[in-house]
Amino acid sequence: MRMSQLVGKRTKETPKDAQTQSHIFLIRGGYARPVSTGIYSLLPLAKRITQKIEKIIREEMNRIEGQEVLMPVVLPRELWEESGRYQSVGPELLRFKDRNGKEMLLGMTHEEAVVHLARSEVNSYKQMPFMLYQIQTKYRDEARPRAGLIRVREFTMKDAYSFHTSDECLKKYYDRAHAAYVRIFERLGMKNVVSIESDTGMMGGAVSHEFMAVSDCGEDTIFVCSGCDYKANREVAKTKIAFASDTANPLEKVHTPNQKTIEEVAKFLGIKTSETGKAVFYTDEDGKLYFVVIRGDIEVNETKLRNHLKLRELKFANDEQIRSIGAVPGYASPLQLNSAKVRIIVDPSVTQSSNLVVGANEADYHYKGFNFARDLQPGSKMIDVVDIAAARNDDPCPVCSQPLKEERGIEVGNIFQLGTKYSLSMNCTYLDQNGKSHPMIMGCYGIGVGRSMAAVIEQSNDKYGPIWPLEIAPYHVHICALNLNEGAVKETAENLYQALLGKGVEVLYDDRNEKAGSAFNDADLIGVPYRVILSPKNLAENLAELKARDGSINEKVPLTQLQDRLMNLLNSKGKQA
RNA sequence: CGGGGUGUAGCGCAGCCUGGCUAGCGCAUCUGGUUUGGGACCAGAGGGUCGCACGUUCGAAUCGUGUCACCCCGACCA
């Protein structure tokens, strides 16, 4: 490709709205352009990269017996009614009517569509297991797109669905899919991707993993154990905190005038916040109240709480709602609380700690010496004891007790064991050896293509631009010809360009006669792995300059050896992958 | 949906407070020339419904009201 013809302007200035490296470089380097909120056009450079990403994904999906299909983006309402998601999903599902008034939607994921296929095409255990996948446009009407291609409304996704006759078979395949994902992200050149336990969210199902590209700009908080393999999303992360268990002291009422927050009370009484228990009130969509008790220094993990209560939405209750169940805001207490009026959820950090300071349910008073087992007479009240604690940096790992480290991650892929959630509701069955009908057992597996491209930039860049791994780089060799007015430079550059093209090398040739600085800055923004610089100075000695974008190579090569040297580099890298 | 912010040339911005004649600057683009190793220089040129609507006024980019769009933070997120 001649750079003079390459569509996609590079800019010197950073777009004012871009905050993350990938967003900045995707715009500055002429890879992508916004069309509307969270909706982008990909320019030639980005398209070349995503094509390579898709190729790698295809190869690995085919390797685990995946069969590629293509399902429609536009789907009819009825199909989604069958699974119940037409109602349950909410406004990020874009719904509309066609000219006949028929209600349609834009697919945001394709469980319904693939089940529609599977249930009519496969009826026998003899054809199972099988996996179908596609690489296709998804639309999600996101509340808040952000960070360039990291979170968008329209995007390309690889989604795969497997169908099995037993849980064992699903699990075995799930592990193969997991291994395929590890290979994919390795081949994409992502430096730090971890697979973590995750919340199954609206997908349903029991087991799921998210593949997180570790990066400061990631939207998810994850915990990675420093001592073992435990890794989890904050939404589900567990900890093994040692709680201070001691002989129970008697309950003692103490005067705590105007000390409402945990910090105030602890400071006032000269104790640590971990020696207190705090009350947090939540309310659901119907206005029903939930009283949550947790140790004072630990935050409530609302995802855990929501999952336990099987609720979609939880909000903090206001003071009025708190009073309505007979509690005093700021001094609320699990003691003397009418469990008929409110559901009580207690974290183990409270049930297993001794002698906590808790509210007295009376303005300006707290109790010292609260002990759950003694003071709440468990069994006499409806109380759920369940882990709802939010993990913190350096909390002990639930497996090995070594400190957990908090990181940020970009979710580039996820895999779910769906089980029969969709096959049951949508009647997707097969006949077994005895002619008996069973629902198919499903797994599903997704990878965001554009997001993966952005994640690679986040993990691989310098202040000048992206540093593309060879496997997905838009081009492999970038020829910078300095001073094309000199006949020798022009001739050498053109010859080299044609020769490399002839050898099947993907080569970008800067034929624009730009100043060196300008050419180099553009080259940095395009991030091609190998750069050949041709200049009058070096050509006089029959030398060319060869540089690797990542700085690993910077040498002068005799012109006669240049092509061999390049081919060696390209081939050896190719073999490694 | 809540909080904050911004809309002036392709991009980045100034001008607005205190209304005024032809709306300005840098980058980018085009022409000619000089240059050529980390974003050159000179001379010239093109490019604008000042987000939109209504209002105030002799006169609105500037003041008022409304509206739309976009961005950031939060909530939400297979």
**Domain residue ranges in chain A:** 49-238+406-458, 252-385, 467-576
* Tokens (6 digits) for A272: 């640590």
CATH number for region A252-385 = 3.90.960.10
Q: Report residues 537-576 of A contacting strand B, contact meaning Cβ closer than 7 Å.
A: 537-538, 545
A202 touches strand B (CB under 7 A): yes
Residue A518: which nucleotide is closest by CA–C1'? B39
Predicted confidence (pLDDT) per residue in A472-510, tens digit: 999 999 999 998 888 888 899 999 999 999 999 999 999
* Position with higher pLDDT, A303 vs A541: A541
Distance from residue A8's CA to nucleotide B59's C1', rounded to whole Å? 44
Residue type, A194: V
Looking at residue A577, what is its pLDDT?
Answer: 43
CATH topology of domain A49-238+406-458: BirA Bifunctional Protein; domain 2 (3.30.930)
Distance from residue A34's CA to nucleotide B47's C1', rounded to whole Å? 22
Segment holding A233, helix H or strand E: strand A231-233
DSSP conformation letters of A160-178:
EEEEESSHHHHHHHHHHHH
Looking at residue A241, what is its pLDDT?
Answer: 79
CB distance A342 to A382 below 8 Å: no
pLDDT at A374 over 90: no
CA dihedral A115, A116, A117, A123 (to 10 degrees): 80
Q: Report residues 7-26 of A contacting strand B, contact meaning Cβ closer than 7 Å.
A: 9-13, 15-17, 19, 23
Q: Which chain B positions come under 7 Å from a protein C-beta? A: 1, 10-13, 26-28, 35-40, 69-78
Largest CA-CA distance found in chain A, in angstroms, rounded? 96
Class of domain A467-576 (CATH, top level) = alpha beta
Distance from residue A16's CA to nucleotide B25's C1', rounded to whole Å? 18
Average per-residue pLDDT for chain A: 85
Nearest CA among A85, A91, A147, A144 for reference residue A113: A85
Predicted confidence (pLDDT) per residue in A517-565, tens digit: 999 999 999 999 999 999 998 999 999 999 999 999 999 999 999 999 9
DSSP conformation letters of A538-576:
HHTTTEEEEEETTSS-EEEEEHHHHHHHHHHHHHHHHHH
Residue A108: which nucleotide is closest by CA–C1'? B78
Residue A486: which nucleotide is closest by CA–C1'? B36
This model of the complex carries an ipTM of 0.86
Range A256-283 average pLDDT: 77
Q: Report residues 118-147 of A contacting strand B, contact meaning Cβ closer than 7 Å.
A: 138, 140, 142-147
Residue A14 confidence class, pLDDT cut points 50, 70, 90:
confident
Predicted confidence (pLDDT) per residue in A48-62, tens digit: 999 999 999 999 999
Residue A201: which nucleotide is closest by CA–C1'? B78
**Hunting for tokens 């091609």 — which residue is that?**
A528
A206 touches strand B (CB under 7 A): no
H helices of A77-165, where?
77-83, 85-88, 111-121
Distance from residue A567's CA to nucleotide B18's C1', rounded to whole Å? 69
